[in-house]
Amino acid sequence: MTAKVSYLGEDLIFIISQPRSGSTLLQRVLSGHPDIQTSAETWLMLHPAYGLRYNKGIKTDYDAGFTTVGVKEFLQNYTDGEQVYTDAVREWARVIYGNALLKGGKKYFLDKTPRYFFIIAELYRFFPKAKFVFLIRNPMAVLASELKTYVKGDWNVLSVFEPDLRRAPAWILAGIELLGTQAITIKYEDFVADPERNIAELCARLNLEFHATMLNYGDTPVPKGKMNDPVGIHQHTRPSTDSVDKWKELSGDSQSRHLALHYLADLGPDTINRLGYSYPEIENTLRAGVAKGTGMIFPWHVAITRQEDWSFRQRALAAYYFASKKYGRLAGTIVAGIQLVKYLLKLLKHCMDTGYRI
């Protein structure tokens, strides 16, 4: 028989969002509450949650596929089943989160890890009594922030954020639907436009007393750790609307507008509208600007795909783009051709060495 587990996450608050959605700002405001302990992004629950995703999602030196098969067989044949794993994860989480609460002298731990959008269902199963706060922001603003903060013109970097851009919105919407009335949603734009009202309402949903001093997060200690907003949070000491419409600047650059329009099309009207935004309004805004720069465009479908997953055509487009930028179009075509021949020869040698037949 499984041991009775009493811990169901009663002292946990999760913020679920796309990265660059203002989650660090919301975290800093909430961490100004005297009962809340937080940290930089913990990423704590991802490995345990993925532990039962058999043969999916984890790459390891020891072969995660074999591991999940072994764990599954062990649970099926020698324990009361997967519920034992769930109970063990709960106890493990109770010890770790509990220690942080004990050390900080607080009642609730706020875990702000954006990529928890991958494991909303598991988190809800592990911790049905936890509070789940879904922070929604215009995806075009998320893209604009990614481009400015991390990509900075190096288009190959964009693929690192493919899950955050393409997959997160659908997972977040699915999570809100799954939790139903237990889902606490807040829109970034509403939050910064009227922070006092929105945070007061959020505190009420969290069963916490609202303190107006929470809004002055400049007086709140910065969570320790590198996994946090490196730029925006430091520009103000309380919520501000300064960045709400900055995404509209995407329309003023031909490359950025190209990426934004294709990202918008990837998400589609249904997702955009369900998030609470107008697809036609966003599209019209992006197309209305006078875009500067009429040179070469790095294609969205190449930029958003990891280099190791490029098709030959995508590799050719990237080689031509970068070579042309460096050497000019004519010389760039020659250089790109040489690079692609070298790539094909390397691929052929690998096939011959491994005995793989093309």
Q: Return the C-alpha torsion angle 288, 293, 294, 297, nearest 10.
A: -90
Q: Report if residue 163 sits inside a domain.
A: yes
Distance of alpha carbon 109 from alpha carbon 100, whole angstroms: 8
Could you give the number of structural domains in the chain? 2
Band (pLDDT 50/70/90 cuts) for residue 27 is very high
| Rg of the chain, C-alpha, whole Å | 23
The residue out of 176, 201, 235 marking a domain boundary is: 235
Same domain, yes or no: 209 and 91:
yes
* pLDDT at residue 272 tops 80: yes
Query: C-alpha angle with apex 50: 227 to 7, nearest 5 degrees?
Result: 85
Same domain, yes or no: 109 and 203:
yes
Q: What is the mean pLDDT of residues 227-251?
A: 82
Least confident of 3-7, 104-108, 231-235: 231-235
Q: Return the C-alpha torsion angle 155, 156, 159, 165, nearest 10.
A: -10
Position 4 scores a pLDDT of 60
Q: Report if residue 3 sits inside a domain.
A: no
Same domain, yes or no: 322 and 187:
no
Same domain, yes or no: 231 and 314:
no
Position 5 scores a pLDDT of 62
Position 356 scores a pLDDT of 60
263 Cβ neighbours under 8 A, 6+ residues apart: 139, 140, 143, 165, 166, 300, 304
For the chain, percent of residues with pLDDT exceeding 90: 72
Band (pLDDT 50/70/90 cuts) for residue 102 is very high
Q: Which residue has the higher pLDDT, 346 or 51?
A: 51
Same domain, yes or no: 175 and 319:
no
* pLDDT at residue 358 tops 80: no
Q: Report if residue 16 sits inside a domain.
A: yes
Q: What is the mean pLDDT of residues 213-217?
A: 94
Other beta carbons within 10 Å of 227: 15
Q: Report if residue 38 sits inside a domain.
A: yes
Position 8 scores a pLDDT of 97
Tens of pLDDT, residue by residue over 106-156, are 999 999 999 999 999 999 999 999 999 999 999 999 999 999 999 999 998
Q: Which residue has the higher pLDDT, 304 or 58?
A: 304
- Tokens representing 27 are 């975290």
* pLDDT at residue 347 tops 80: no
User: What ranges make up the beta strands (E) of the chain?
Assistant: 12-16, 36-38, 108-112, 131-136, 183-187
Q: Which domain holds residue 348?
A: 310-358
Continuous segment of H or E residues that includes residue 67 = helix 64-78
Helix-strand-coil split of the chain, %, nearest 5: 60, 5, 30
Q: How far is CA 107 from CA 23, 82, 101, 102, 332, in A?
A: 21, 30, 6, 8, 61
Same domain, yes or no: 113 and 26:
yes
Q: Report if residue 109 sits inside a domain.
A: yes
Pair 198, 135: CB distance under 8 Å: no
Same domain, yes or no: 55 and 141:
yes
The residue out of 208, 235, 262 marking a domain boundary is: 235
* pLDDT at residue 23 tops 80: yes
Q: Report if residue 154 sits inside a domain.
A: yes
Q: Report if residue 104 sits inside a domain.
A: yes
Band (pLDDT 50/70/90 cuts) for residue 55 is low
Q: Report if residue 77 sits inside a domain.
A: yes
Least confident of 37-46, 156-165, 191-200, 223-232: 223-232
Position 144 scores a pLDDT of 97
Return the CATH number at 128: 3.40.50.300
Same domain, yes or no: 324 and 223:
no
DSSP string, 339-355: HHHHHHHHHHHHHHHHT
Q: Between the ranges 100-109, 149-158, 312-321, where is the mean pLDDT highest?
A: 100-109
Model's pTM, two decimal places?
0.91
Same domain, yes or no: 221 and 137:
yes
Position 20 scores a pLDDT of 94
- Tokens representing 93 are 């989480």
Same domain, yes or no: 60 and 193:
yes
Please state, rounded to an integer, the average pLDDT across all residues of the chain. 91
* pLDDT at residue 227 tops 90: no
The residue out of 235, 255, 278 marking a domain boundary is: 235
Q: Would you say how long the chain is, in residues?
A: 358
Band (pLDDT 50/70/90 cuts) for residue 62 is confident
Distance of CA 187 to the CA centre of its chain: 16
Other beta carbons within 10 Å of 204: 11
Q: Which residue has the higher pLDDT, 295 or 60?
A: 60
Buried b / exposed e along 80-93 (16+ C-beta atoms within 10 A): eeeebbbbbbbeeb
Band (pLDDT 50/70/90 cuts) for residue 17 is very high
Q: What is the mean pLDDT of residues 275-294?
A: 89
Same domain, yes or no: 230 and 355:
no
DSSP string, 100-149: HHHHHT-SEEEEE-GGGGGGHHHHHHH-TTSEEEEEE--HHHHHHHHIII
Band (pLDDT 50/70/90 cuts) for residue 351 is confident
Same domain, yes or no: 219 and 349:
no
